[in-house]
Chains A and B, each alone.
Chain A
Amino acid sequence: MIFVTVGTQEPFDRLIRAMDEIVPELGDQEIIVQAPLKTYKPIHFKTFDFINPSKYNNIFDRADLIISHAGMGTILSALTKEKSLLVMPRLVKYGEHRNEHQLHTAQKFKFLNYINVAEDEKQLQTILLNKKDQKLMIPKKMGKYASDELINSLRKYITIK
Chain B
Amino acid sequence: MKILAVASVGGHWTELLRLLPAFEGNEIIFASTKQSVAETLEFSKFHVIPDINRNDKRKLPNALYKIFALVSSIRPDIIISTGALPGLLSIIAGKIYGAKTIWVDSIANVKELSLSGKIASRVADRTYTQWPDLTNKRCLFHGNVLS
Interchain pairs with CB closer than 8 A, number:
118
A75 to B21 Cα, complex, angstroms: 21
Chain A hits for B106, CB < 8 A? 72
- Count of chain A residues with a beta carbon within 8 Å of a chain B beta carbon: 39
Q: Is B72 engaged at the interface, CB distance under 8 Å to the other chain?
A: no
A142 to B145 Cα, complex, angstroms: 10
| Stretch from A32-40, A126-134, A144-152 at the B interface | A144-152
Q: Is the CB of A71 within 8 A of B10?
A: yes
Chain A interface, >50% SS class: helix
Q: Is A29 engaged at the interface, CB distance under 8 Å to the other chain?
A: no
B interface residue count range (under 10 / 10 to 19 / 20 to 34 / 35 or more)? 35 or more
Chain B residue nearest in CB terms to A150: B143
A8 to B8 Cα, complex, angstroms: 12
Chain B hits for A142, CB < 8 A? 146-147
* Interface residues, chain A, with chain B CB atoms under 8 Å away: 7-9, 52-54, 70-77, 79, 98, 101-102, 104-105, 107-108, 142-155, 157-159
* Interface residues, chain B, with chain A CB atoms under 8 Å away: 1, 3, 9-15, 18-24, 26, 36-37, 39-40, 53-55, 78, 80, 100, 102, 104, 106-111, 114, 126, 128, 130, 140, 142-147
